Amino acid sequence: MQNYYDPKELGVNNYWWDESEYFWMEITDRDQSDQISQMRGAIGDNIWAPTHDTNGVKRKWSYSLVALVKPGDIVFHYSKTKNAIVGYSKVKTYAYEDTGVWGAQGSYASSSKPFMRNLFKADLIEFIEYDNPMTIEEIREKQEQLFSLINRLKDEKGTLYQPFVIKNNQVEPPQAYFVKMPRKVLGLLNLIDESKIKQPSSTFVKKTTKSSRTGKTRKVNTKRNKVVELYAMKIATNYFEQLGYEVEDTSQGTFDLTCYKDEEIIYVEVKGTQMDFNKVTLTKNEVRGHRINNKNNALVVVAEISLDKDEIASGGVRFVQHNWYPEDKDLEATMYNYKLNDDKFQIEKI
């Protein structure tokens, strides 16, 4: 089994599972409010947790387990808001390191310091949201069988990093973010038809995993992205108009806004996001254009934008940097155009 990280170095001292145990469970409240889900992503978008404890010193197994997932693994999602397992997703990527805000919502408005942390993160795909989530009450109906099974597995395997514990004489999810979901526990809860399960591989697809609970795939909402983008443009326009500039929308070209006042011209890049202030995406032309014009340009980022149920944007935090030069050290390549040379290939017409 391939991992980029050594489990013991991460504080995961009992790597008990084999290739057949590719199930996990996220325990989250990211659906508690639109603001939280917008900052962290909706359930089924990703899994992410700090690399260390609050002091940045100790490893916590419930965080570190995120670093041990692999493409094709299945992640179940327990919502602390709904007190139920609401669906499952497939892991798209190996875990990678990132930074982000881990803590209370509205961190930039908080009187305390933002919870900016180093993170382990992995992307998810194909979120299946159950039509009938499995509630904690349903799970408790099988409490005796469940803990008889968990105790047998613990005797056999050791520490399980298990998905449920007994608290006040009843089943609860543990005080943890990410846990293992033993395959036999899945069978007991009847969350997936075990006869239909296939191990992850390069050809692993959703149809090989059948659930006894029906659900639907959530689709990406491009309309929401456009609403966020236009809202950020409005905030940036208002900012420069209040400074006395005449503002022209030039977003069909290299610069989103061009601002005029007397003999002065400012070229403005505008980015809007529902997430925290962390990263934005730039095109090659945007980088080139703003490097050339860095003496009379600006970058405006509107972060933590909220969308209500009618997809009306509001709120957010505006960040403005004048005379902005996108430096190489701050740029991260996420895609390349690779030039093909047929001299290096074996060629056969099909």
Q: Which of 101, 127, 128 is nearest to 112 (CA)?
A: 101
**Rounded CA gap, 47 and 98, in Å?**
12
Q: Which of 335, 84, 88, 308 is nearest to 214 (CA)?
A: 88
Which pLDDT score, from 0 to 100, does residue 75 have?
Answer: 94
Contact 67, 18 (CB under 8 A): no
Contact 3, 70 (CB under 8 A): yes
Which pLDDT score, from 0 to 100, does residue 194 have?
Answer: 54
Task: Give the amino acid at 334.
Answer: T
Which pLDDT score, from 0 to 100, does residue 299 have?
Answer: 97
- How do the domains of the chain map onto residue ranges? 7-217, 222-327
Residues with Cβ within 8 Å of 348's Cβ and at least 6 positions away in sequence, in order, are none
Q: Assign a CATH topology to domain 222-327.
A: Trna Endonuclease; Chain: A, domain 1 (3.40.1350)
**Rounded CA gap, 3 and 45, in Å?**
21
Q: What's this model's pTM, rounded to 2 decimal places?
A: 0.58
Which pLDDT score, from 0 to 100, does residue 1 have?
Answer: 40
CA distances from 208 to 71, 196, 211, 335 (A): 15, 6, 10, 30
197: its two tokens: 């399960």
| β-strands 116-135, 215-217 pairing | antiparallel
Which pLDDT score, from 0 to 100, does residue 204 have?
Answer: 34
Which pLDDT score, from 0 to 100, does residue 4 have?
Answer: 63
Which pLDDT score, from 0 to 100, does residue 57 have?
Answer: 85
Which pLDDT score, from 0 to 100, does residue 207 have?
Answer: 31
| β-strands 74-79, 84-91 pairing | antiparallel
Q: Mean pLDDT in each 10-residue stretch from start to end of the chain (350 residues)?
A: 72 91 92 67 88 87 93 92 90 85 50 66 88 90 92 93 90 93 90 59 37 51 79 96 95 89 94 85 87 94 87 92 94 78 80
